[in-house]
Amino acid sequence: MSITNEDQMIGMQKVSEAVAYTLKKMIEYAEPGMTTKDLDKYGAGILEGFGAKSAPYLTYGFPGWTCISVDHEFCHGIPTDQRVLQEGDLINIDVSAELDGYWADNGGSFVIGKDIHGHQKLVEASKAILRKAIDNIKGGVKIADIGHLMETEAKKRGLKVIKNLGGHGVGRSLHEQPDELLNYRNRYDTRRFKKNSVVAIETFIATSSHLAVELKDGWTMVGNKGGYMAQHEHTIVVTDGKPIILTQMNEILN
């Protein structure tokens, strides 16, 4: 969407606060021995407290309030009673929701407990790349140039980007134009970021794979060559200068 008045900005701020606070509290709540279903129920309670509704459930009938992916799962992981979190697991939580007709999206990867498997380096790379990408987004900037920046920063660190996942416009629905805000330069993409537009900008930084493939459950995605992936995501408003980070409250880049 493009924000054209104060009411729209307030609406986006409210739903962004709901998803950002929920993500922050879920990350703080997660601990070894807990199931992903336990964690999802906790997040569901927070969203309900805001009067917000799960975006993946509303849009796609996703079997959970939030997407929780563990270790080799890259994204869209289904919360279950069978998946028990372990010390050192790489976790990704993606929280998106609708509130009063507005939609926002955010996510973050983190290591639970002690980093006994050495995942923190990947997490920090993803954070740094998202921070740099957001700092370089403003009206008129080529979308493909931000993708190029993200892939270049990943390669500097000996990492890869997932080429079939991307950020997207958001606001009046979960996925809007501009779609396919990719983590690499698509040389056929001549689009530019537009001032006042709302986008969910996200990283997909991986150790071994360059594509995400869907498992038989119809939701969970893993790498085509295995390995791990970290994702961090903010909903932002594009301006003439630094973007307004609507989901700043999640503190994923702290």
100 in a known ligand binding site: no
**Quick one: angle between helices 6-29 and 36-50, nearest 10?**
150
Query: 3-class DSSP state for residue 43?
Result: helix
Give the whole-angstrom CA distance, residue 144 versus residue 242: 18
Cα 80 to Cα 45, 67, 230: the distances in Å are 16, 11, 21
89 in a known ligand binding site: no
145 in a known ligand binding site: no
175 in a known ligand binding site: yes
Give the whole-angstrom CA distance, residue 68 versus residue 132: 25
202 in a known ligand binding site: yes
Residues in the chain: 254
168 in a known ligand binding site: yes
Give the whole-angstrom CA distance, residue 58 versus residue 120: 33
76 in a known ligand binding site: yes
Residues 6+ apart with CB under 8 A from 112: 30, 31, 32, 85, 86, 87, 88, 89, 91
Q: Where are the beta strands (DSSP E) in the chain?
A: 53-54, 67-70, 73-75, 90-99, 102-111, 160-161, 166-169, 176-182, 198-202, 205-206, 212-214, 221-223, 229-230, 232-237, 244-245
Which segments are annotated as binding site for substrate?
76, 175
Which amino acids are annotated as binding site for a divalent metal cation, given as ranges?
94, 105, 168, 202, 233
- Residues at the binding site are 76, 94, 105, 168, 175, 202, 233
